[in-house]
Structure 1
Amino acid sequence: MVAVMRRRHPLSPTAGRPGRPGRPRSAAADTAILEATRAALVELGWSGLSMSDVATRAGVAKTTLYRRWPGKNELVVDAVAVLFDELELPDRGSLAADVEGVVRQFAALLERPEAKTALMAVVAESTRDEALRARIGASIVERQKRLVLEGRARAQARGELPEAPEGGPPGAGSAVDDLVFDVIAGAVVHRALVSGRPVDTEWVRRFTALLLGGLGAAGD
């Protein structure tokens, strides 16, 4: 399993919110609450999880919990989002190596019971809840597109990808970044969680070849 640094992303659930007067918000309490939420999901599932149970598991008052998250949807999405914020894109020397590295990190994250259960729970529930789907998009999907942006910029600096042409169609670069993210995330989630098949070295190599080189390269 690829080791990843545990860090708080600048756009994590507790960052950037206006502070309330009085006692400062406790990062330790935030961590305890999010960990308790993931543990409750693994044990009880979405329908069994309650704000009261999370507060008890985290050792905080329910008022403390509700000051931070107004309801279960927001709480669970943020509990998932902080796991994905652990993903990073170290410079491995080439675009192919960078892609392979982040795919392995993502697959390793999905092997963790708390990540797998929480992600599947919020995705399933979001099919019936448009507001929840929007929150997943903002808190998880949009935040993790940073990996695609970092990878593209690094590959351009190495000369592996052309620089974006000036005066191109508005939003063209963003649309490609969105597509690359969808392809990577969709393929890994389907392989690991839907098909239940291993994201092993050979699969990662072939997937990366397909992503970067097209159908002809995938069979090499």
Structure 2
Amino acid sequence: RTGRPRRADADAAILEATRDALVELGWSKLTMGDVATRAKVAKTTLYRRWTNKSELVVDAVALLFDELTLPDRGSLAADVESVVLQFAALLERPETKTALMAVVAESTHDAALRTRIRSSIVDRQKRLVLEGRTRAQARGELPTESDPATAARTSDLIFDVIAGAVVHRALVSSEPIDEAWARDFTQLILVGLTAVAPA
């Protein structure tokens, strides 16, 4: 055995303490020591799990993204609108907004951090696209692609379009994402630019 086994309750306390510290202190003032104090664990406990605060913050925010679900609303359009509104609500939470913007900024000069963001957040959330596409194909709303490589590229593109638009509107433009916006955005995705009639 190399060290003590990980405890789920300790991990949960650490990740919650990390999010609280981010909201209160911001990225620049947050330290591993502060998180350890808030979580009531030894600093060595943190370093056995995470080598630095970038990894810790990514995992803390990834846990929030794992809360996203895709309940069956009966149609592809309703499913897309639902996940867009869920995603927007998640980005409105101070701990998500602070953490996400901080790690993205840090990742511009840290390749390892970019890789961790991709594996811990982006790749894990692509499950929603795969689930939604499978459901829509079963309903006959979308065609089934026989080539796995083509299907994977399509799923990646869908994810990039939806996630990119929501993140940009919520965190860059700071514009509201309400039911009307989600409906218009979904219509644009489903029918395309040339089929959108002027209001």
> TM class by shorter-chain length?
over 0.9
Q: TM-score, normalised by structure 1?
A: 0.86
Residues 218 and 199 (structure 1), Cα distance of their counterparts in 2 relative to 1, 3 Å cut: farther
Does structure 1 residue 157 correspond to structure 2 residue 138?
Answer: yes
Match of 2:122 in 1: 141
Distance between the aligned counterparts of 1:145 and 1:26, measured in 2? Answer: 28
Match of 2:151 in 1: 173
Q: CA RMSD in A?
A: 1.4
Kindly indicate which of the two structures has a greater share of residues assigned to helix. 2
Match of 2:181 in 1: 203
Match of 2:62 in 1: 81
Deviations 1:51-102 (A, max 9, x none): 1110001111111111111111111110010000000000000000000000
Q: Which runs of 4+ in 1 moved over 4 A?
A: 20-23
**Identical pairs, percent:** 75
Distance between the aligned counterparts of 2:127 and 2:100, measured in 1? Answer: 19
Question: Which amino acid is the alignment partner of residue 130 of structure 2?
Answer: L
Does structure 1 residue 217 correspond to structure 2 residue 196?
Answer: yes
Describe how 1:56-95 pairs up with structure 2 within 5 A. Answer: 56-95=37-76
Distance between the aligned counterparts of 1:212 and 1:140, measured in 2? Answer: 25
Distance between the aligned counterparts of 2:38 and 2:29, measured in 1? Answer: 14
Distance between the aligned counterparts of 1:172 and 1:88, measured in 2? Answer: 25
Residues 119 and 22 (structure 1), Cα distance of their counterparts in 2 relative to 1, 3 Å cut: closer
Gaps of 5+ in 2: none
Distance between the aligned counterparts of 1:108 and 1:72, measured in 2? Answer: 25
Distance between the aligned counterparts of 2:197 and 2:29, measured in 1? Answer: 44
Distance between the aligned counterparts of 2:82 and 2:155, measured in 1? Answer: 18
Match of 2:163 in 1: 185
Residues 153 and 76 (structure 1), Cα distance of their counterparts in 2 relative to 1, 3 Å cut: same
Which residue, 10, 13, 29 being the options, matches 1:48?
29
